[in-house]
Chains A and B, each alone.
Chain A
């Protein structure tokens, strides 16, 4: 593999990582701060993509669709919180998993009823049609650069919000010891609702950004959700910084594994079995790394201290 190709693959890995971070950030906030396992996070990602695609087609502009998808995702998130999730905070994780899994089934079938089962047509972002030639014959779409920029901005914004504002301080305090914060006169439920709303909006934002690149179809959130869980477990549950580092790590491992394993295995076995074992190993690699990291550091790379 040439150096140029390796650099391109590193870029691809970083970009996949940033997309994963956008999904994982909301998940880690909700999981870390509220100790709430929200399997329906992937559904919120899917709804963001559908809403953005539908509104974008209706209004004839991808960017308008993206912009409007944010408040709609927020509203959907708050509605789900009010109807279902609010009643689960005091229950154990198993009840949360069961109930949010039920939300996945219900919402996915509702999406099929409204939009049908075929992947949706998505308006392409205006002004981002072209790209940069990063190696002979290969264009790097400029929209993907926009996704990277958006991911970095979200990371920065979240860091500022959680580490540098009063609301962020309360969120951190609530994560450490909720009853104490509540006793100090802070409305902890309002705080949790706020956190949940931000998480839902981030998921919707990620979905809306993914629309022009990936297929917008029922179930599109499931695969992403699994990887997002891997990211937050590796990163340390509740840690934004951990989610960022872990997302980039997972993106790089997945990409480089897919790019290089089949070729590496060819050194020790024949071509056709190297290709198939390589492909199988590459798709397992992320989980193997997760297991290894959990073995060495059970609370993840950036463990959040709890009171």
Chain B
């Protein structure tokens, strides 16, 4: 481990208040390599992902499927080459049974072949690229999140349902930004007044905000992850544009709300889960998560929690025989656990078939900001690539 990684781990440890590292257990157990971005710009998401997984293992008394579980936390540093090296070591030296986690699609793409070709199960708790949903689907690969397009398409459906005629679209100028705009337009049939592509390093949005004000749209749709979203939300509010509905994906969520503060109140986002879900599993998850880690969990944490539950349930159904991959796979294709999302099942391409919701930023009675469900938008939605998948 180099110095940067060491510092990063130390940073993560100081912040979560808990040093997970290795959770040692008695052999024979189940070993999981949990890959998350814990240093660098994406560390807030990786921390959510890791904490969600660890809480699930805690809820399961340190076991997965009845076997003592050991979680090796791997920091991918948001560098594909680093991720591959560390994951190979986990596969060959530590002989992990499952690789899980994965915040970013480019990291998933890098470790995909090394993991699946070694015959190891790969469970994504967040990254959901189209690459592995269609023709590239794989019997050893599962995801508990979503296919990216679905989230953007949900917002497109919202704009359609609300009867908006003219929507202004603004996204960063890179592949994920273009996918977001395309996903939105796949369900929104009205007029897109203008589309602005901003550089990923954009600081000041006043130029774009002036254009929005001049165009007077019925709503705007945007996808501005991380610090970009913090800039935009603050400046959008300060520019007095908040009366124009702010429809977004991955822009206002539990990872950015602490910095956006009240500027984000009333802004909309699309998600497969929100911390105010009324079902008992979700309430217990949110309560215990906040008690253990001191912040509000977002979808990242919830999906990682479900990923652990998926593995737990799969191993249980397979009778604890980790070597019986066919049984394990069949079990995970028909998961029997209750998801924090309530309605949840695996599609033929191992991507979830689930509901998507319109959510809004609101202040909870305890003063913390969180997203709240407004209404269900898509029911039992299957991603658009699933039909192309021929699972061997």
In Å, the complex CA distance between A218 and B199 comes to 18
In contact, A109 and B203 (Cβ under 8 angstroms): no
C-alpha spacing A19/B231, complex, angstroms: 15
Which of chain A's residues has its CB closest to B38's CB? A117
Q: How far is the CA of A283 from the CA of B10 in the complex (A)?
A: 36
Q: How far is the CA of A5 from the CA of B216 in the complex (A)?
A: 13
Interface residues of A in 207-234 (CB under 8 A from B): 212-220, 223-224
Q: Report yes or no: A279 in contact with B235, Cβ–Cβ below 8 A.
A: no
- Which B residue sits closest to A217, measured CB to CB? B227
B203–A223 touching, CB < 8 Å: yes
Q: How far is the CA of A110 from the CA of B204 in the complex (A)?
A: 26
On chain A, the residues within 8 Å of B230 by CB distance are 119, 214-215, 217
CB under 8 Å from chain B, chain A span 100-137:
105, 109-110, 112-114, 116-122, 131, 133, 135-137
Q: Name the distance in Å between B38's Cβ and chain A's nearest Cβ.
A: 8
Measured between beta carbons, the chain B residues less than 8 angstroms from A220 are 227
Report the minimal beta-carbon distance from A287 to chain B, rounded to whole angstroms: 12
Q: Which residue of A lies closest to B13 (CB)?
A: A113
A109 contacts across to B, CB distance below 8 A: 4, 7-8, 11, 39
Q: Quick one: which of B205-246 are within 8 Å of A by CB? A: 206-211, 213-214, 216, 226-228, 230-231, 234-235, 238-241, 243-244
A276 at the B interface (CB under 8 A): yes
In the assembled complex, how far is the CB of residue A106 from the closest CB belonging to chain B, in whole angstroms? 9
**Residues of chain B lying within 8 A (CB to CB) of residue A105:** 4
Interface contact A9-B8, CB-CB below 8 Å: no
Contacts of A279 in B (CB 8 A): 173, 196-199
**Cα distance A136–B210 in the bound complex, in angstroms:** 10
Q: Considering the complex, give the chain A residue whose CB is closest to the CB of B178.
A: A276
Q: Once the chains bind, are A12 and B240 in contact (CB under 8 Å)?
A: no
Residue interface bits B231-265, CB-to-A below 8 A is 1, else 0: 10011001111011000000000011011010000
Inter-chain CB contacts under 8 Å: number? 153
B201 at the interface (CB under 8 A from A): yes
What is the CB-to-nearest-CB distance from A31 to chain B, in angstroms, rounded to a whole number?
A: 22
The 8 Å CB contact of A275, one of B14, B197, B203, is: B197
B44: Cβ under 8 A from any A Cβ: yes
CA–CA, A225 and B11, complex, Å: 25
Residues of B within 8 A of A2 (CB): 214
Are A116 and B238 interface neighbours, CB within 8 A? no
- Cα of A216 to Cα of B213 in the assembled complex, Å: 26
Q: State whether the Cβ of B23 lies closer than 8 Å to any Cβ in chain A.
A: no
CB contacts (< 8 Å) of A272 on chain B: these are: 195
Q: Which residues of A contact B204 (CB under 8 A)?
A: 12, 15-16, 19, 213-214
B240 — nearest CB in chain A belongs to which residue? A139
In this complex, what residue of B is CB-closest to A141? B238
Q: Are B213 and A117 in contact (CB under 8 A)?
A: no
Q: Is A280 on the interface with B (CB-CB < 8 A)? A: yes
Contact in complex: A112, B210 (CB < 8 Å): no
Contact B15 A116 (CB under 8 A): yes
- Determine if A112 and B43 form an interchain contact, defined as CB atoms under 8 angstroms apart: yes
Question: Please, which residue of chain A has its CB at the minimum distance from the CB of B208?
Answer: A258
Q: Are B214 and A119 in contact (CB under 8 A)?
A: no
B391 at interface (Cβ–Cβ under 8 A)? no
Count chain B residues whose beta carbon lies closer than 8 angstroms to a beta carbon of A.
Answer: 52
- The complex places the Cα of A166 from the Cα of B231 at a distance, in Å, of 42
Q: Is A8 an interface residue (CB 8 A)?
A: yes
Q: A255 at interface (Cβ–Cβ under 8 A)?
A: yes
Q: How far is the CA of A137 from the CA of B261 in the complex (A)?
A: 23
Closest residue on chain A to residue B258 by CB atoms:
A121
**Within 8 Å of chain A (Cβ to Cβ): is B136?**
no
Taking a contact as CB atoms under 8 Å apart, the answer to whether A218 and B41 are in contact is yes
Partner of B206, one of A15, A110, A137, A219: A15
Contact B203 A135, beta carbon cutoff 8 Å: no
Rounded to whole Å, the gap between the CB of B12 and the closest CB of chain A is: 8
Residue of A nearest to B210 (CB): A8
Q: Which of A117, A136, A138 contacts B209 (CB 8 A)?
A: A138
B40, CB-defined interface residue at 8 Å = yes
B203 touches A224 (CB 8 A): yes
Bitwise, A221-256 to B at CB < 8 A (1) or not (0) is 001100000000000000000000000000000010
Tell me the nearest residue of chain B to A105, going by C-beta: B4
Q: Is the Cβ of B203 less than 8 Å from the Cβ of A214?
A: yes
Q: Which of B66-107 contact A (CB under 8 A)?
A: none
C-alpha gap A69/B317 in the complex (Å): 59
- In the complex, what distance in Å separates the CA atom of A82 from the CA atom of B203? 32
Contact A135 B214 (CB under 8 A): yes
- Report A269-307 CB contacts with B as 1/0, cut-off 8 Å: 000100110011001000000000000000000000000
CA A89 to CA B227, docked complex, whole Å: 35
Whether B255 pairs with A118 at a CB distance below 8 angstroms is: yes
B214:A118 contact, CB within 8 angstroms: no
CB 8 Å contact bits of A1-23 with B (1 = contact, 0 = none): 11001001100110110010000
Bound-state Cα–Cα, A141 to B239, Å: 6
B237 to chain A, nearest CB (A): 9
Give the CA-CA distance A20 to B238 in the complex, in Å.
20
Please tell me if the beta carbons of B199 and A12 are within 8 angstroms of each other in the complex.
no
Per the bound structure, the CA–CA distance linking A111 and B73 in Å amounts to 22
Q: Among A9, A113, A135, A215, point to the contact of B10 (Cβ < 8 A).
A: A113
B159-186: which have CB < 8 Å to A?
173, 178
The reply to whether A118 and B256 form a contact with Cβ atoms under 8 Å apart is yes
How far apart are the CA atoms of A118 and B188 in the complex, in Å? 32
Name 11 extra pairs, CB < 8 A, besides A5-B211, A212-B234, A215-B231.
A1-B214, A112-B8, A119-B230, A119-B256, A131-B238, A135-B213, A135-B214, A138-B209, A213-B204, A214-B203, A216-B259
Q: Taking beta carbons and an 8 Å cutoff, which residues of A are in contact with B?
A: 1-2, 5, 8-9, 12-13, 15-16, 19, 105, 109-110, 112-114, 116-122, 131, 133, 135-141, 143-144, 212-220, 223-224, 255, 258-259, 262, 272, 275-276, 279-280, 283
Contacts A/B (CB < 8 Å), 6 sampled: A116-B15, A131-B240, A138-B209, A144-B238, A223-B201, A283-B173
The 3 A-B pairs at the shortest CB distance, nearest first, are namely A139-B240, A117-B43, A138-B213
